Structure 1
Amino acid sequence: MKLKLIAALAIISVTPALALASPSCTGEPKSKWMSEDAMKAKIGAMGYKVKTFQITGNCYEIYGKDKGGNRAEVYFNPVSGDIVQMGD
């Protein structure tokens, strides 16, 4: 009984952290998203050097370097291409 309670509390305590891991970027269906190639071109025009490009939830996300050469983790709205959130 105590083991089940401890397991339940552990799951509950981790769930909010997982929910905050990535932002909500759009509610639009993927059919309205900018193509990955178009988004990569836009990101490059913003001065980012992309090491990793991926879809995270309802966002396009990159890991790479900004125009100053600093590490960048950036979430983009896949419809407009706007920056939604920046990490380190």
Structure 2
Amino acid sequence: MSHPALFLSRAAVAAFGALSLSTAFAGPQCTNQPQSAWIDAGKFQMELKAQGYEINKFKITSGQCYEIYGKNQAGKKVEIYFDPVSGKIVKQETR
């Protein structure tokens, strides 16, 4: 392989690796709806608390999800992604 071709191959491998790494840590895509269609964040959190969730951290992700870190009704640590339009769970991890 010639030197320029070797350089391009290495650059392509590095770019692919960086792309793979960035998508490996990305959360789910929850909605494409505008924020005007979303459930109010404050009301949503109040409803989760009324259902027995303890919320330690609440945020809006780049995938347009409501994400919480906290505890579920059984007291287990959870990380949950919700669709902010429907309120349905998109992804959940329990520890």
TM-score range, shorter chain: 0.7 to 0.9
Moved over 6 A (4+): none
Aligned length in residues: 86
From 21, 29, 41, give the equivalent of 1:14. Answer: 21
Q: Secondary structure at the match of 1:87?
A: strand
Computing the radius of gyration from Cα coordinates, the structure with the larger value is 2
Aligned partner (choices 72, 80, 86) of residue 78 of structure 2: 72
- Native 8 Å contact 1:54 1:62 kept in 2: yes
Deviation at 1:9, TM superposition (A): 3.7
Offset at 1:83? 1.4
Q: TM-score, normalised by structure 2?
A: 0.77
Q: TM-score, normalised by structure 1?
A: 0.82
Q: What is the CA deviation profile of residues 10-37 of structure 1, one whole-angstrom value per residue up to 9, with x for unaligned ones? A: 224324414xx31221221001111111
In structure 2, C-alpha distance between the alignment counterparts of 1:82 and 1:13, rounded to whole Å:
28
Unaligned runs of 5+ in 2: 1-6
* Cα root mean square deviation, aligned: 1.8
Q: Does 1:61 align with 2:67?
A: yes
Unaligned runs of at least 5 residues, structure 1: none
